[in-house]
Amino acid sequence: MNPTRKRRLIVISLILGAVGIAAALTVLALQQNMTYLYTPVEVLGGKVPAEARFRLGGMVKGGSIQRSSDSLKVSFTVTDGDAELPVEYNGILPDLFREKQSVIATGTLQGKHFVATEVLAKHDENYVPRDVKEAMAKAHEKHSVPEAAGKAKSEAK
């Protein structure tokens, strides 16, 4: 390799290395600051400043959804396994919203309730055909395996 090319190679490699390190440090610094959502444990633990708007993330607790009969008002409980928080919302819910679904609600804490202005459903990375899911559900029923046990197993994998 002739000297000019060698020099260029070294200079460009050094610049790339420097930019890489700068990016890595930025990502590490953001790790602590860039919180997209808080879980109920963190909220109850006082990690969220009072009266701040934030995103609350977790699972909709089974059997906790209560819809009002004459309006769009809905209330449900968000849980992360360790703690739970009641949520109130007035508006249209996304298609994927249902019990035991991960959701992200934006809003403020008012007293012990979280009043949401927006509720988003989080989709997981699993894609299962409908017939397979039905067959699985049948097998679970036959062997009396609760749905939650199967889910926990697949998550543990």
Partner 1 sequence: MNPLVLWFHKLGSPPYFYRLAGRLLPWLWGLAAIGIAAGLYGGLVLAPPDYQQSDAFRIIYIHVPSAWMSLFIYFFMAVNGFIALVWRIKLSEILAMAAAPVGAAFTFICLATGSLWGKPMWGTWWTWDARLTSELVLLFLYLGVIGLYHAIEDRRQAARAAAFLALIGIVNLPIVHFSVKWWNTLHQGSTVKLFGPSLIDSRMLWPLLIMAVATKFAFAASLLSRARVDLLELESGKDWARQIALAEETSA
Nearest-angstrom CA–CA distance, 80 and 60: 9
Q: Is 128 helix (H, G, I), strand (E, B) or coil?
A: coil
Does 36 show up as a binding residue in the annotation? no
Contact 120, 94 (CB under 8 A): yes
* CB distance 55 to 78 below 8 Å: no
- Binding mask 39-78 toward partner 1 (x if CB under 8 A, else -) reads ------------------x---------------------
Tell me which of 41, 44, 97, 115 binds partner 1, using CB under 8 A: 97
Give φ, ψ of 108 to 5 degrees: -130, 160
Cβ proximity to partner 1: between 8 and 149 the closer is: 8
Of 26-34, 66-74, 107-115, 143-151, the window that binds partner 1 (rule: CB under 8 A) is 26-34
User: Would you state the torsion angle of the CA atoms of residues 53, 72, 66, 120, taken in this order, to the nearest 10 degrees?
Assistant: -40
Surface-to-core class of residue 34, CB atoms within 10 Å of its CB (0-12 exposed, 13-18 middle, 19+ buried): exposed
Asked if residue 25 binds partner 1 (CB under 8 A), the reply is: no
Site string for partner 1, 122-141 (x = CB under 8 A): xxxxxxxxxxxxx-------
Q: Is residue 5 involved in binding partner 1 (CB under 8 A)?
A: yes
Q: Which residues are annotated as a binding site for heme?
A: 123, 127
Q: Which residues bind partner 1 (CB under 8 A)?
A: 5, 8-9, 12, 15-16, 19-20, 22-23, 27, 31, 34-37, 57, 92-97, 104, 118-134
